[in-house]
A and B are shown apart, each in its own frame.
Chain A
Amino acid sequence: MSGLTLELLLLQIVTGVALGSVFVLLAIGLSLIFGMLTIVNFAHGAFYMVGAYMGVFLYGLTKNFWICLVLVPLAVGTIGLVVERFLVRPLYGRNIDDPLLLTFGLGYVFIESIRILFGLNGIPFSTPAGLRGAVDIGIGYFPLYRLFLIGATGMLVLGLWLFIEKTKFGLIIRAGARDPEILKVLGIDVSKIWLLVFGIGTGIAGLSGILAAPLQAVTPEMGIPVLAEAFVVTVVGGMGSLIGAVTAGLMVGIVVAMTSLFMPEMAKVSIFLLMALVLLVRPQGLFGRAGLMG
């Protein structure tokens, strides 16, 4: 292993953290929706992909990445609101498979619609001006955009944590994840809470889509592998746990980055090995259902 220096190793870890940031964002949305609505949202990857395309489209109109960063999650979240209100809501109280099948099918409807609207080929999304190039982070040069990704994820996680722990709506979310019936008895219209949570979860998926867009080509199928990875992160971290999503997301990112360095051929398999290992030791995931976002 000549040529492997401590700097290279550390840089690869930071690369893993950047990669993990996207996993964290995806898993938070997935986990939030599951923890509150007990719905496994198989369309989550498609919402992510729609977020990337929405970014492409809005960037074309506005030429301003920062505006897109605000508009995309709002737009994708709005689609989420419509989906919950008219498609998911009629399925509450029915077999748990029903919303699963619905969102699974919906994912393909999104993919096909995007193929029709934007074509089959990938669209490049250039790194926004001001976030291009690399900076010296002490152990070597690191792409600025990836640093931005880490920072943006950190801020979002912090904001979400404050929202859930410190606001009235957050208190309702925490209670509702444990016992929706008692909320009804205490005068809260739980269906409205579920609607909003689905909107927030899908909005965050859309945000991860536009944030990930400069790292890869934007294609109609980009959400498919990401969905599997997001599930791995959610399962490793523990369904419904914010801290679990963050820890597992970063862990998965670092594992992928490290295996890419030492055993590139194992990079794709490594996260599933990690999942198998964690589940053997802790079937409920690292931060198992101690309670949603607890």
Chain B
Amino acid sequence: MLKIANLSAWYGHSHILQGISLEVKRGEIVTLIGRNGAGKTTTLRSIMGLVPKRQGSVVFDGAEILSEPAHKRFHRGLAYVPEERRIVPGLSVLENLRLGIIGSASRSKENERIDVIAETFPRLKQRLTQEAITMSGGEQQMLAIARAMMAEPQMILLDEPSEGIMPILVDEMFELFRTMKAAGTTIMLVEQNVELALGISDRAYIMDQGEIVYHDTAAALLADKAMQERYCAV
């Protein structure tokens, strides 16, 4: 589904990604772990096309997309939920959801999709007319994910979805990721909550200082406390 080879990315003059390679197969959940500043967010932003200076290869669904702008990658079925969630202020929950499909070829299915999403995210269903930024952090995170799912992406990139969210909502959210996987959505996850993330993942990559330093099945990494300590201790 996604194959990255020797990808480098820069912000200004700082060389953030130093030639990383990784692969996510269709239907998998793959987690990217590592300390703050390891380059995890930059990896997701590069996959989505939001880093202006990059080099190497990003192949999605069989096509080289390295030089494509973000909006074209969306049309290929890639979705991205940024760490800051980016719920648009001044808009209602419903309007934020509509934004998720307005730029898509399937926008004629808007109402139908909103019904489906409202069933999947019951917390949002009761709040459709509320101004979105007045909701709690966890509800906003749910909305950000729901918005990204509006256009039925093939693969979704999630950056720190559990950050700053009540534990009960975190469990609900990870349950949702399982459901999304079961429905055929490929997921790439960046998470500080390592145990929880590995618990639902198929495989994981560990990043350090802009490089991939290790990768294994999630189950193996979950058992390997030493490796977790070495690269993920905050």
Contacts and interface: CB of A to CB of B under 8 A. Distances in A.
Contact of B88 (A178, A184, A187, A188): A178
A49 to B, nearest CB: 34
Contacts of B86: 179, 181-182, 185
Interface string B153-167: 000000000000000
In this complex, the member of B70, B79, B91, B147 whose beta carbon has the largest number of chain A beta carbons within 10 angstroms is B70
A188 B102 contact: yes
B177 interface: no
Contacts of A185: 48, 50, 70-71, 74, 79-80, 82, 86
A186 B79 CA distance: 8
A19 to B, nearest CB: 31
B185 to A, nearest CB: 16
B53 interface: no
A245 to B, nearest CB: 17
Interface stretch (A76-84, A94-102, A168-176, A275-283): A168-176
A291 to B, nearest CB: 4
- Report the contact-size class of chain B (Cβ under 8 Å from the partner): 20 to 34
A179 B74 CA distance: 17
Given A171-B91, A171-B95, A172-B102, 7 more contacts: A168-B102, A168-B107, A174-B90, A184-B69, A185-B80, A186-B100, A187-B103
B213 to A, nearest CB: 28
Sort chain A's interface into a size bin: 20 to 34
| Dominant SS among interface residues on chain A | helix
Nearest to A177: B90
Nearest to B79: A185
14 contacts: A171-B91, A172-B102, A175-B88, A178-B88, A178-B89, A183-B103, A185-B50, A185-B80, A185-B86, A186-B74, A186-B99, A188-B71, A291-B90, A294-B90
Contacts of A171: 91, 95, 98-99, 102
Given A187-B71, A187-B74, A187-B103, A181 B50 contact: yes
B90 A184 contact: no
B104 interface: yes
